[in-house]
Structure 1
Amino acid sequence: MFIVFLRFGADKDRAQSFMDGHKAWIKQGFDDGVFLLAGSLQPAAGGTILAHKTTLADLTDRVNADPFVAENVVVPEILEVAPSMTAAPLAFLTR
């Protein structure tokens, strides 16, 4: 499982120009079954994504394809997590 942080960079003011492409990129991640959660970092610091069923290399490629990343609107950070205990609805993450 991975946690992806997309923190706004110096070009944060350009986000609106690439929002449609970014939203389509997020939708594709959900459609592909890789993204489990996407949301905003508060207060207005960027975004975060919870991902699974992928490798670090493939996720890195996917993240680099995000228009926000490609256009330097956000700076990505990917953290790999090996869940050992979850609440019952999230038990699939430990398999």
Structure 2
Amino acid sequence: MFVVALRFSANKSQAPNLMQAHNDWIRRGFDDGVFLLTGSLKPGLGGTVLAHGVTRAELEARLKEDPFVTEDVVSVEILEIAPGRADDRLAFLLAAA
């Protein structure tokens, strides 16, 4: 499982122009069953993605398809988590580990 931080970079001003394409990229991540959650980093620092069911290499390739990444609107930080314990509602994450 991965937590991805997408932190705004120097080209942040281009975000509004790329928002629809970025949202389409997010939708594909959910449609493919890779993204479990996306959201904003507060206050206005960028966004986050919780991803599972992919390798790090597959995730990195997917991130390179995000217009925010290709146009340097955000920088990417990937944190890999090896789940060890979870609430029953998230038990499926342990099975995938």
Report TM bin, short chain: over 0.9
2:10 match: secondary structure: coil
SS of alignment partner, residue 72 of structure 2? coil
The two structures have a TM-score, normalised by structure 1, of 0.99
Pairing 1:7–2:1 present: no
Which position in structure 2 is the counterpart of 1:45? Answer: 45
Matched residue pairs, number?
Answer: 95
Could you tell me the TM-score, scaled by structure 2's length?
0.97
State the shift of 1:46 in Å.
0.2
Give deviations 1:32-69, integer Å, cap 9, x for gaps.
Answer: 00000000000000000000000000000000110000
Match of 2:57 in 1: 57
CA distance in 1, matches of 2:27, 2:89: 22
Distance 1:85 1:63 in 2: 27
CA RMSD of aligned residues (A): 0.4
Provide structure 1 residue ranges, at least 5 long, that are not aligned to the other structure.
Answer: none
**Structure 1: 4+ residue segments shifted above 6 A:** none
